[in-house]
Structure 1
Amino acid sequence: MSRINQKQKTKKIILPVLTIAGLILASFFILELNPVSAEDQVQELNSEIQDKQQEIDTLQKEIDAYQEQIQIKQKESKSLKNQLAILENQIAKIELDIEATGKKIEQANLEIQNLNLQIQDKEAEIKNQKTKLSEYIRLIAQNDQVSYLEVMLNNDSFSEFFDYIKYIEDIHGDLNKNLSELKTARQELEIQKSNLEDKKKQEETLKDDLLKQKADLSEKTSAQGLLLVQNRLTERQYQGNLYQLQLEQQQINSEIATLEKTVREELEQREKAERFQDFGPARLSWPVSPARGISALFHDPDYPFRYIFEHPAIDIRAGQGTTIKAAEGGYVAKVQFRGDKSYAYIMLIHNDGLSTVYGHVSGVSVKTDEYVSKGQTIGKSGGLPGSIGSGNLSTGPHLHFEVRLNGIPVNPLEYLPAF
């Protein structure tokens, strides 16, 4: 009687084990057959992302075409009509750049949505894997209550015993498989989260680019406005004005170069030279923050007034009235500031044959023939057309920053820290 009861007890344990094991094994196939709505959403987003990429590619072709026209016009002779054509192409190109950047931001948003869906799907998969694992562990714990000898003695046939053994082996095999899949799913989840962070950073960079492109558009449009005023003149009058502007720029350049040479000669003959030498080797720092970007490079081929002169500086975007700091300690060789709309600048002389010029200043905090230390406030930036110190050749607020080596303009970016 006790043997019959024991046999029934063993079967009560074995049958649920086999049944639950079968259900868990079947769940693998059921899950694979059922479509996941998240996958449909991911596919839909992928399709939208591809559409955005096609739009971006189309815009890029138009941008390249305008760039080609700009380069052709830049090689032609300097005339008012030609300069207006260059600006019109530059404005059209920037407008397309802005549109393309907007599309890229939209594309980045779609990719972020896509990654979020994939992350949610992967988290659900991990949760499902954990549920399966807990079921496997429960079955194994339940199976451990019965020994193989007890199962063999209490089964009606060896066939039932071997079926039981096979199911137990399947459970262990599926447990290992499930653990491996869980590990892989977690690794994929970490990769997707990392990709999501990268996409968010990319989106922020694109937004910054968009702001700079809009600033470029504003500056080019302002330059176009100045040329359109001149367009009302005859070509002969324009060429006359061009000559006067070129002459004025040459005079400023010559004045700075001559002044530097004279000042250095005087310093060598004065006791103040000892203090000047105390500044040590010249190591330039940014006079204003470059965070808002550079609107015109040294000898920039896209400089709107290149038909008058080669740009001998970099133009650093800065709000009207931004504090200007001395890029290095040195001697104030010249402060050209009348308090009116004429071009105003500050010139400092440093060691190692270097000098720096700060143009379009709207205010000054130093005087000629005094010394300044590195980082000391020397004035306020300007450049807003028609404002104090802006001069005739400015399209928006910025700092015109020159670096000269032995009186000759050199590329400031080769002397400033990377940003």
Structure 2
Amino acid sequence: MEENIFQPYLNSKRIFQRNREILRSSYIPDELPHRKEQINQLASILVTALKGDRPSNVLIFGKTGTGKTASVKYLEKEIKKADSQFNRVHYLYMNCEVVDTQYGVLQNIGNTFFTDDKFKDRIPFTGWSTERVYNILREKIDETNRVVIIVLDELDKLVYKSGDDVLYHLSRINDDLQNAKVSLIGISNDLKFTEFLDPRVKSRLGEEKMVFPPYNAEQLRDILNQRSDLAFYQGVIDPSVPPLCSALAAQEHGDARRALDLLRVAAEIAERNGDDKVTEAHVYKAKNKIELDCVTEAIRTLPTQSKLVLMAIMLQEERGEGRLTTGDVYETYREISQIVSVTVLTQRRVTDLISELDMLGIIHARVRSFGRGGRTKEIESSVPVVETKKILEEDEILQGIKNYRPKNQTTLI
């Protein structure tokens, strides 16, 4: 019988004892290490809801991977347990990176109050006025005597994209309710976003403020050890692996998500290779893979003009003529733009795009001065040329320059 392509992988030694989702940040364990203080503080605010009164609105700040979302979701489980007999609390979580418009937020909140038999009456994705959506939402919330806790995660994304109108509506909704009460919890990575809020919204929303500090290496190690015990077979993780993942993540800013990703990807690499143990070497491979994935995503999402500028840099680097200048890049950019029939930008605008690519860390551009001869930028890429070209060639518009070679150019200084 012919062997299936997946057979060698299916037969390889298993490292994961249980679902590998345990090593993702979305998994909420029964106990959150080193977040007891913050959870207790939040619980002391939200307990009011279990007594039938409205808790204060809360704003939670903290960098990525400091346990903000995990703590809020953990409290959701606990509130539902405590309220299982009475059903007085309606707890609702929403990520504003996914739903980032005023209409979308109100529509999503409103539709959670429709039962299955009234499914057809739900608020449509689009087509109603915001006022009509708000009125339906208010009516649905006010149908029974209850406390509604609305958690808006990544709140800064919503405010930067759509302003604070929706927060104004939600923060004053209690004035329009007879039976129900609404409490808001906002979560943000950005302390500065409140500067963009209307003063009335700011004072209503920030009745209580909390800041989640970053984890240190020791705390990250405890988190990884807790998840490792749940996720892996005994003895497959080398004792030096959790401390290394913790140290690498703590160097950045104590990001538990990054530490968990490193451990999970390292284990996946070991499993794919058929290795018996996850070692430090696997962690370093995982670090390179994760960093490359971030760069890949950044390149994929660049606007067309920036992709053309980056492609011009890659083509020039392939020829290996040492450091490039803005003039070299512009000449090649102009040629390839004409080949793919895209409007050619001015050299000044291309210089701006080069600066943006430099800020993203995809290239390194250094200004060099030639005295009276003027100034130019010396450019070199910070990413592998062959892989970057492959990613850029995925774009349909850039398909036409797959086999293009830049003409010989002489740079005059």
Instruction: Tell me if TM exceeds 0.5.
Output: no
Relative contact order, CA 8 A, sep 6+: which one is greater?
2
Task: Normalising by structure 2, report the TM-score.
Answer: 0.22
TM-score (norm 1): 0.22
